[in-house]
Homo-oligomer: A and B are copies of this chain.
Amino acid sequence: MSNPRPTLADIAREAGVSLMTVSRVVNQKDGVGSEQRQRIETLIKQMGYRPSGIARSLVTQRTGTIGLVVPDIANPFFPDIARGVEQIAFQHGYSLLLCNTEENPSRELDVLDLLLEKQVDGVILCSSRLPSEKLKEILPAFAAVVLVNRMPEDEDMAGADAVLVDDFRGGQMLGQHLQIRGHSQVAFLAGPEQSFSGKARFAGLRNVLGADVVFLTCEPTVGGGQRVAREILGARPDLTALCAFNDLVAVGALQAAAEVGRQVPADLVVTGYDDIQLAGLVTPALTTCRVQRENLGCRAAELLLDRLDRSDGQFKTIKLTPQLIQRASAP
């Protein structure tokens, strides 16, 4: 199929005008007579001309593309973010290069490398699992970066805008919920070791419940939660509450509880985080902390596009507050 697509020159030859005139028509610039313009427009349609994004990019030095890096697009947390980002980006004529890191820091580096080579105009980096030093080394190579769910810790790492969830606050909210109901023997199923969100949530929990909250890492999946919950429930039968890193882990905890014969919530309470769709649909429904994910994506995209327009200006950090959602798993 597709005999090589026509170029500006082809149209120009056919129309008997110069290449520039056609270019002006394509780009809706003025400086072309209106009958001429008409004629050329028809010709463009007829010959099925499409501008070459590549050639255009080579001269403008912009690709109209932004990179979206996520740990795992199959994790229900990220599609919603992607949706928000895509929506805003598309509205402004940008498209999205999606990259999965598979929760693997070295692959995260590879992916950033690829995006650099593809010359994206900017990057939205979600839940980066990279140590700060690496990050500081690579991010400056991009014209614009927005960090999602990862604080630009040091002052000098403020080479990036950021959108964050106030996870410390979320941890506190959950902690208070539990404390009021008399739970003092609590374990936190923390998700990936490198997760900054996990650490912040734990800090919030401990801020309210005191230092002896148990901290356990696990994969951020149902299976991961199930495994670690099974273990800790065996080792510490005195625990009365499990706080999970996210809703998937919490569902795993529910399953583990069922296995070892603990009734939820009568006998053990469980909390999640994120409020993904699943959270409200399992039995018992999960008490959790809602994170507005699509909004997170939209805000991130807005910050990025904003910076692409005006690359000066202070770097901004937007912090979204999560919302406690009380359901049956921890009433």
Contacts and interface: CB of A to CB of B under 8 A. Distances in A.
B79 A73 contact: yes
A135 interface: no
A72 B141 CA distance: 32
A176 interface: no
Contacts of A282: 281-283
B1 A116 contact: no
A180 interface: no
Nearest to A251: B281
Contacts of A18: none
Interface stretch (A53-61, A149-157, A161-169, A205-213): A53-61
A108 interface: no
Contacts of A97: 65, 95-98
Q: In the complex this chain forms, how many copies of it are found?
A: 2
A63 interface: yes
Contacts of A82: 73-74, 98
Interface string A54-92: 110110000111001000111010111011001100100
24 contacts: A1-B140, A5-B141, A50-B113, A68-B98, A73-B83, A73-B86, A74-B294, A76-B76, A78-B79, A83-B100, A86-B99, A87-B100, A90-B99, A90-B114, A95-B114, A98-B98, A222-B281, A251-B281, A277-B278, A278-B278, A281-B281, A281-B282, A282-B282, A282-B283
